[in-house]
Structure 1
Amino acid sequence: MKNLTSTLYRLKNVITIDFIKGIFLTLLLASIAVYLSKLPVLSVIGAMILAIGLGVLWRHIFGQPTHTKEGVTFSSKMLLRAGIILMGFRINFNQIIEAGFSVILIDITVIVFTIVLVILIGRWLSLDRFYTALIAVGTAICGAAAIVAVAPLIGAKKAHTVLSIACISILGTIGTVVLTFVYPILNVDPYLYGFFVGATFQELAHVLAASAQGGSTSEEIAILVKLGRVVLLIPAAIVLAYLFKPSDAQEKNRVKLKKLPVPWFIVGFLASCMINTLVQLPQGFIHFSVSSSVFLLAMAMAGLGLSISFQDVKQAGYKPILVGGMGFLALVLLVPLLLLIF
């Protein structure tokens, strides 16, 4: 009873009017994006890209009031994960088994190649090694989530963490928008397109937004490939924590490996897939889950757009953008070769 009372007290402190305002802002932008995506011309872009664009536009016209930050962050992180779990209800577990071996091989190759290459480029450009490590892991695995997880393990400065996230977010958003307009003229198989997106893009949000252009087939394989990269965050973080042993000055910022956040939402996604495989779910329920997933993901994209600050990137200078951009471009060139090999 005492634990229940304590939990309710914490929830009361978190769920404030300002928190609700932040969520409502992402809900409003997502609703507008979904409506616009039904118009003839804008339907090519899709609700998720439009939601990111509206978020960026809102922030740079009206600003993002600090009191809505927690609600916006909740949408861009927690609702993103909830949307992914619901997406699992439209995927059969047999699809995961069939794609399994090639997904693992490509994901491991992508992560090792990217981290090594970005670190070498950072060293060549004389960029701070901790800064470079954060950009490397963000590019190779899962953007901001990977950066936030690894930063305390290697004793990186808070400023480097913030600026690394800003660089990765900007690069991924630009790549997503570009690919959205290029896809219609590529004439590529939706399955291969989804595989490519899942193996190259930094943020989970970027993967979902870019893969939506190829339809359900692209989305499903993209999320499987991307979640494979997310799972590999833990072994990658352990290796980086060992290699980037901080000096005494950074030691106070370092935390233990046991505090590394485990991406539990992947378990929820796999559970949804398993339920859909073992149980004949009503079509109405599946349709509701998919529709809810799309809308929650659009809210997450709006939150992502609201969190993008070009001022942070300007403050970082050109080197981090150049390092991250070269790493991203290398992935774009590498993955098609891996698809031919595997």
Structure 2
Amino acid sequence: MSQEAIVLINKKNKSFNMVRGLTLTLTLTLLARQLSSLPLFSVMGTMVIAILLGISWRAVLGVPRIANEGIDFAAKKLLRLGVILMGIRLDFNMIIASGPRIILIDALVIVFTITLFWWLGKRFSLNKRLTALLGVGTAVCGAAAIAAVAPLVHADDNETAISVGIVALLGTLGALVYTLLQPFLPLSPYAYGVLTGSTLHEVAHVVAASMAGGKESSEIAILVKLGRVALLIPVAMVMGYLFNKKHRGSSQQHSRQLPIPWFVFGFFGFSLVNTFNLLTPAMEQFILQVSIFLLTMAMAGLGLHVRLQTFRRVGGGSLLVGVIGSLALALFGWGLLILFSIT
């Protein structure tokens, strides 16, 4: 068989594997949309349902390895595209009205969370690498932050996978709890959005939970969350410095390779479109619906990545640290609302 034929076969297999993974996330998305119309499930919304379906599917039926490529594409690429299109909901006049306190809230959340996890890691005798990944993943933006920081702290694949799994699981539970509690919280839609955007882990979790508060909650929640995402690079550089004091050259080399959250710029680009009313309301609504559909597929992919059995290999210590840290972050976020008089 010629080299050209082998290359062609590999390309076909890769495309087939991509389609299998995307088909699975699409199937879960369509099922989530149907379930969300039922009275019992309507309060959760399609995105949270999609995450739960993904977790359940993997736990019960498993996920074939050949489908991982398409699932990864949905969980990462479609997520970012969905967030970009979600910018059509944001008006920059709201950002101007918010003032500098949003970025201050983000900075305080990150410093508090990473410091707390560092202390908890020592108390529960976790290794420093796993503690750093859990803290950064919870503080900044989940799996993306963990992936950025893992090589800087010299984490192995097992530590990285465990961290991603714990953060994804707790963020998913957080999104579900926030959604269920939203009608009973003494918070305005704006305050609920700030709380959601400043305390939930993944962008997907924030988008899913903030939907319960309506348009205003979603807008400010995504804005607050993207502020945390934008702080990924300086946070990762600091972590790299702390773990590589004796190898400055290596740390600098890794720092130059840190991923830039480019989708933030796309999000703000679509926000400009909305701010200056460049599209008709019908077009804006269509883009919004496409965004929601893509984000639902992304969250199905995210759920399919959660491996419940992973936690058995490390005992309850790391999971307990994640739970305590996540609860403390939620309380800290509530305290920030009081501090900044956001009600």
Normalised TM-score (structure 1):
0.92
Q: What is the deviation of 1:254?
A: 9.8
Whether contact under 8 Å (2:244, 2:250) holds in the other structure is no
- Tell me, which stretches of 5 or more residues in structure 1 are unaligned? 1-8
Identity of aligned residues (%): 47
| Counterpart-to-counterpart distance in 1, 2:202 and 2:127 | 23
The equivalent residue for 2:275 is 277
Whether contact under 8 Å (2:89, 2:215) holds in the other structure is no
The equivalent residue for 2:262 is 264
The equivalent residue for 1:4 is none
The equivalent residue for 2:118 is 119
Matched, 1:316 2:314: yes
Change in Cα spacing, 1:247 to 1:168, as seen in structure 2 (3 Å) is: farther
Q: What is the deviation of 1:130?
A: 1.0
| Counterpart-to-counterpart distance in 2, 1:259 and 1:193 | 35
Q: What is the deviation of 1:290?
A: 0.6
- Tell me, which stretches of 5 or more residues in structure 2 are unaligned? 1-7
Change in Cα spacing, 1:246 to 1:74, as seen in structure 2 (3 Å) is: farther
| Counterpart-to-counterpart distance in 2, 1:275 and 1:327 | 38
Instruction: Give the AA of the match of 1:116.
Output: T
1:139-158 CA-to-partner distances (Å, cap 9, x unmatched) read 11011110000011121222
Instruction: Give the AA of the match of 1:232.
Output: L
Whether contact under 8 Å (2:194, 2:217) holds in the other structure is yes
**Equivalent of 1:340 in 333, 338, 341:** 338
Stretch moving more, 96-105 or 80-89: 96-105
Q: What is the deviation of 1:102?
A: 1.2
Instruction: Give the AA of the match of 2:118.
Output: I
Q: What is the deviation of 1:263?
A: 0.5
1:198-241 CA-to-partner distances (Å, cap 9, x unmatched) read 00011111111111111111111110000000001111111111
Change in Cα spacing, 1:313 to 1:42, as seen in structure 2 (3 Å) is: same
Measured on the aligned residues, the alpha-carbon RMSD in Å equals 2.0
Whether contact under 8 Å (1:115, 1:133) holds in the other structure is yes
Whether contact under 8 Å (2:18, 2:69) holds in the other structure is yes
1:241-286 CA-to-partner distances (Å, cap 9, x unmatched) read 11112778xx999962100000000010011111222243111210
| Counterpart-to-counterpart distance in 2, 1:166 and 1:247 | 31
What is the total number of aligned residue pairs between the two structures?
331
Change in Cα spacing, 1:203 to 1:38, as seen in structure 2 (3 Å) is: same
1:78-104 CA-to-partner distances (Å, cap 9, x unmatched) read 111111111111211222222241111
The equivalent residue for 2:141 is 142
Matched, 1:72 2:71: yes
The equivalent residue for 1:3 is none
Whether contact under 8 Å (1:29, 1:51) holds in the other structure is yes
| Counterpart-to-counterpart distance in 2, 1:94 and 1:283 | 18
Whether contact under 8 Å (2:48, 2:176) holds in the other structure is yes
The equivalent residue for 1:6 is none
Matched, 1:287 2:285: yes
Q: What is the deviation of 1:188?
A: 2.3
Alignment of 1:168-179 (within 5 A): 168-179=167-178
Runs of 4 or more, structure 1, over 6 Å off, are 251-254
Q: What is the deviation of 1:109?
A: 0.4
Instruction: Give the AA of the match of 2:272.
Output: M
